Amino acid sequence: MTDSTGRKRGRLSRGAAESPPAAQAESAPREAADSIPFGVRLAAGWSWRLLLIGGVLAVVVFLIIQLRLIVIPILVAVLVGALLVPFSGLLQKHRWPKWLAVTTAMLSALIVVGGLLTLGITQIVRGSDELAAQSLVAWDDFREWLLEGPFHITESQLNEWVDQIIQSVQQDSGLLVSGALSLSSTLGHFLAGLLLALFATLFILIDGRGIWNWIVGIFPRRARAAIDGAGNAGWATLQNFVKVQILVATIDAIGIGLGAFFLGVPLAVPIAILVFLGSFIPIVGAVATGALAVFVALVYNGPVIALIMLGIVLLVQQVEGHVLQPLIMGTAVKVHPLGVVVAVATGSLLAGIPGALFAVPVAAVVNVMILSVSSGAWKNDDAPPPQPRSALWRTVPQRPGYKRGE
């Protein structure tokens, strides 16, 4: 018994002797960490978290760019649905059957857009012969001015320039062929995207609430009330954006159309229609429709009226870009005017025309959703969203032991 007691005391004495070095080894990293200033540690903590968030956002942007042929039609369908869902809901409130309300909303949109396109294109086609003849007359006048004007250009020099242009076109015929093939491929993508957008819009009208409830059901139960409240706020903001965009396009069309009418420019009505439709396509739409108005004025009314028409187009576009978009759009979507300008510029830089088109609605929806979550308004209703009862969701497989709403 004495031996065992002695061995225990020996082990305890050895453990006590070894403990100070171990404690010192453990305290060394703590002392090193404590020696770093708090500001540096705080900056390091924010840095790696921001890098992680930036990496996730970069992956999301990369996936969107790779799947742009699918993402863009879906986003277009969401914008169109934001306009048509209230109309369909209004018809259903007046005791219209749901299928009839959805059909009426879809057909109304197709008829309005198709009717405007048909009216504008038809009038342009009817005046195409006269436009071509007048273009030749304008070219002859321009040629005569070059020959007899202050530049003193000779006939041989002018013919030589024309021959060089023709030769360059012939040399670049391969580029023209490849461009035609690229155009056909782009046209096929456009038609496929159009069908996808129509299909998605139809399902948003039929069961948009059920689709949203399914998305909310993916998140944990405690987060569903916040996600649902933020989504409702974002959807209301998106509806305001679509209405204001239509208002801005109407103002553009009226301004340029009235300018062409008072200047006596032919085809004022189709020009106004094309300006209205082109206003929904940022940058390219405004440039193309404005150039068409100036060209028609130049061909029919001469350079002076064309310069005045150009001034009207630039004035309307400046008013839209610096007054209507920042002020009216910023007020409707609850985004500061500077935020609207920065969003459009950033979207154009990242994704070109689609980026400019969806920059403001995406920024507005994200801003409102973040504000909705941070305000805590969703805490007033902790109940999960109602279960989708549409027959469509009976085809969606569920995980074993999973019940929607849990």
Are the CB atoms for 368 and 234 separated by under 8 Å? yes
Whether the model clears a pTM of 0.85, i.e. scores above it, the answer is no
Tell me, what's the pLDDT at 381?
Answer: 54
Please tell me the distance from the alpha carbon of residue 105 to that of residue 91, in angstroms, as a whole number.
9
Are the CB atoms for 241 and 325 separated by under 8 Å? no
Please tell me the distance from the alpha carbon of residue 274 to that of residue 116, in angstroms, as a whole number.
8
Are the CB atoms for 299 and 283 separated by under 8 Å? no
C-alpha distances in angstroms, 90 versus 231, 232, 262?
Answer: 21, 18, 40
Are the CB atoms for 212 and 390 separated by under 8 Å? no
Please tell me the distance from the alpha carbon of residue 370 to that of residue 9, in angstroms, as a whole number.
65
Give the type of residue at 136.
L
Please tell me the distance from the alpha carbon of residue 246 to that of residue 209, in angstroms, as a whole number.
25
Tell me, what's the pLDDT at 160?
Answer: 72
Give the type of residue at 354.
P
Tell me, what's the pLDDT at 146?
Answer: 64
- Encode the chain (406 residues) as per-residue pLDDT tens digits: 455 555 545 554 554 444 455 555 556 566 666 677 888 888 888 898 999 998 998 898 888 888 888 888 898 899 999 989 999 989 989 889 988 999 999 999 899 888 888 887 887 777 666 666 666 666 666 666 666 666 666 667 666 776 676 666 555 544 444 444 444 566 777 788 889 999 999 999 998 888 988 898 888 888 888 888 888 888 988 888 888 888 888 888 888 889 888 988 888 888 888 888 877 765 566 777 888 888 888 888 888 888 998 898 888 878 876 777 666 766 666 666 677 777 777 877 777 777 877 888 888 888 888 888 888 777 765 444 444 444 444 444 444 444 444 4
Tell me, what's the pLDDT at 166?
Answer: 67
Helix (H) or strand (E) holding 241: helix 221-262
Tell me, what's the pLDDT at 179?
Answer: 43
Residue 399: strand, helix, or coil: coil
Are the CB atoms for 353 and 75 separated by under 8 Å? no
Please tell me the distance from the alpha carbon of residue 116 to that of residue 355, in angstroms, as a whole number.
26
Tell me, what's the pLDDT at 348?
Answer: 76
Tell me, what's the pLDDT at 140?
Answer: 65
